[in-house]
Structure 1
Amino acid sequence: MADKGRPLMRRKGRKEEASAEMTKDVQTEGEAPPAEANGDSQVEAMELPPFEIIQGDRIDPFAFKFQFKNVEYSSGRNKTFLCFLLAEGNTADGLVKGYLEDEHTGPHAEEAFFMQCLLNYDPALRYTVTWYVSSSPCSACAAKIAEVLKARTNVKLSIFAARLFEWEEAEIQAGLKALHAAGCKLRVMKPLDFSYTWETFVENEEEPLNLWEDCKENYEYYQEKLADILQ
């Protein structure tokens, strides 16, 4: 896909506007316009303000189709959806799955994961974590996650992102590089990843996901940009 001078996706936006954009996007499957994103040193040392984090097992299908769509212009997508798989130990017997959704009133979904889903962290155990996120981490989140991974070498994290958040910004690129250097596996979501996430984390009523026309093209675009950043 040719580079059209992709506009930066902005984190903040009004939830009323996002809701309206979501309804329009799902009904018409059209493109939209600014966007969203997301926010561990030693987790124990963090002082967190009150925050709103929604946690559950299954995402509303309309929210998934809007928030995870890997469009070039991502208007109204001003929050982060984080679907996770968490395995403790060397087997998948204790696999935990779910999702987090942030409202940007405090910590972002990435930060909340370590506070809520790894609340009983045990340094003697091995943790294998996979995230499917609506957009890649912001610079602050990336730096905190990198610090956690360096401090907790028994945590192995893979992040698969539908879109790259503000990838043209130097601080965002530095954050992604820091994550990569800390051992985090980073990749853009492929078309098959969207179908898997739909089947695993969405209230889909056993309906298959009809991928949007430019899904593969947009994946290739973002993956090329990510490869350039991490090289």
Structure 2
Amino acid sequence: MERSDWSGRDSLEEVCPRGCRWTAHYRKLIEQIYKKAFRFYFRNLRYAYGRNNTFLCFQVIREQNNEVLHKGVFLNQPSPFRLHAELSFLSWFHDTELSFDENYKVTWYMSWSPCPECAKEIVTFLDNHHNVTLTIYVARLYYHWNPTYKEGLRALVQGGTRLYTMAFPEFEDCWSLFVCNETFRPWENFHKCCSLQDKTLQKILRRGKMLKEETFRVQFNNAHKAQKPYRRRVTYLCYQLQEANGNLTKGCFRNKKGLHAERRFIKRISSMKLDQAQSYQITCYLTWSPCPLCAQELAQFKHSHPRVQLKVFVSRLYFHWKRTYQEALHRLCTSQVPVTVMGLPEFADCWDNFVDHQSEPFKSWDKLEQYSNSIERRLLQILKSWGVDDLTANLRTLQLGPTSPPVAGRDP
């Protein structure tokens, strides 16, 4: 299907069998990049003047057997089409005869990060193609100081894209796959430029997922009663996923639109299509312990992801006097999802990793450790009443370390 009036910057308006917007339009697929072109357009300088085009190098791999099915390069198409490289790929993907019954891993190496319009189209694409996992490595960040472009990058990650800046291994892979077989030789200040781009991206993504200081101190406060001025304490879930290669993914959820934070978290991690052959560690910080339904779904998630080590820290126990909620804690611990109560080290780690604290160290509130010890004793009593041994002793050594809207609330 063609639309002669489509500009490339308009929304993709055609509809594919999966309900995704698309267009089969003007695009030019090439196989290789000249060495001089690569070294000019992919050079990750802080100020990259004169680089007015975007190169998108891609691989499509069948997940079941890691077979490389397709690879190539798209460029932004100039006027009159003005078709961005990202939209060229989405158009090409729809025209390629790939089975909806198989899972695919797609990797992009890009000279510039996507613009907000393209980011929106990528998120829509992933929403309608749950069999596709997309990883994007970018050499440079496009208009990274512009709030609209920052929001576009955050939307990509929140929509399921794995977004990273290119470091030496990614430059080397891109060079060998799309340039030539010669050894990749970094340019001057290469590693310094890589570090700068990565810090900039982490700052953008981090700020988009950060809690305000006041929100953290109200919602994670472990006092038995809410402090004055009274604000309803709802469920917040902060998580960090660490892959075997060291890559980190972080995020925060709260109850919203009929979904508890735990269910939103499970939906988010499931959309990432984790490699079942790799090991992962996920650490969750919760303001309230899970309700029975969420505990059941967390246990099912762990059962379907045996190579995921899932650890849950809670600030407070939710309806801990009710037998059904005690059973929920029992179910989690017997499903290899250990639950423990947050102490001072965990509050400090959560503060460092998930709060926009402007480099201020965590300051304990009054009686924090007293409240924590009281809640932990209650948790151990509950577990022992169900015949469960203390499974939480080893969790105290866990440190996340530094990295370079409710259904009805949960009031006990």
Aligned residue in 2 for 1:86? 60
| CA contact 1:48–1:106 (8 Å) conserved in 2 | no
Unmatched 5+ stretches in structure 1: 1-38
Among the aligned pairs, what percent are the same residue?
A: 32
Aligned residue in 2 for 1:15? none
| CA contact 2:59–2:68 (8 Å) conserved in 1 | no
Aligned residue in 1 for 2:170? 193
- Equivalent residue in structure 1 for 2:126, among 142, 149, 165: 149
Deviations 1:199-222 (A, max 9, x none): 1111x3x43222111111111111
- Equivalent residue in structure 1 for 2:116, among 113, 128, 139: 139
TM-score, normalised to structure 1, is 0.75
Q: Considering only aligned residues, what root-mean-square deviation do their CA atoms show, in Å? A: 2.2
- Equivalent residue in structure 1 for 2:88, among 105, 112, 129: 112
Deviations 1:14-54 (A, max 9, x none): xxxxxxxxxxxxxxxxxxxxxxxxx9687636475964x33
- Equivalent residue in structure 1 for 2:158, among 181, 192, 195: 181
| CA contact 1:160–1:188 (8 Å) conserved in 2 | yes
**Which secondary structure state, in structure 1, belongs to the residue aligned with residue 67 of structure 2?**
coil
| CA contact 2:12–2:23 (8 Å) conserved in 1 | no
- Equivalent residue in structure 2 for 1:74, among 48, 52, 63: 48
Show the 5 A alignment for 1:206-221: 206-221=181-196
Deviation, 1:121, is 4.6
Q: Which has the higher contact order (CA 8 A, sep 6+)?
A: 1
CA distance 1:145–1:47, shift in 2 (3 Å): closer
**Which secondary structure state, in structure 2, belongs to the residue aligned with residue 176 of structure 1?**
helix
Q: Distance in 1 between matches of 2:64 and 2:36?
A: 36
Deviations 1:110-159 (A, max 9, x none): 11111113423533221210000001001110111011112211110000
Deviation, 1:87, is 1.3
Q: Distance in 2 between matches of 1:99 and 1:86?
A: 12
Verify: 1:96 aligned to 2:73, yes or no: no
Q: Distance in 2 between matches of 1:157 and 1:121?
A: 15
CA distance 1:41–1:192, shift in 2 (3 Å): farther
Q: Distance in 2 between matches of 1:149 and 1:40?
A: 14
Q: Distance in 1 between matches of 2:25 and 2:64?
A: 35
| CA contact 1:81–1:99 (8 Å) conserved in 2 | yes
CA distance 1:89–1:190, shift in 2 (3 Å): closer
CA distance 1:217–1:43, shift in 2 (3 Å): farther
Q: Distance in 1 between matches of 2:12 and 2:122?
A: 5
**Which secondary structure state, in structure 2, belongs to the residue aligned with residue 162 of structure 1?**
strand
CA distance 1:70–1:183, shift in 2 (3 Å): same
Unmatched 5+ stretches in structure 2: 1-10, 207-412
Which amino acid is 1:113 matched to? F
TM-score, normalised to structure 2, is 0.43
Aligned residue in 2 for 1:125? 102
**Which secondary structure state, in structure 1, belongs to the residue aligned with residue 136 of structure 2?**
strand
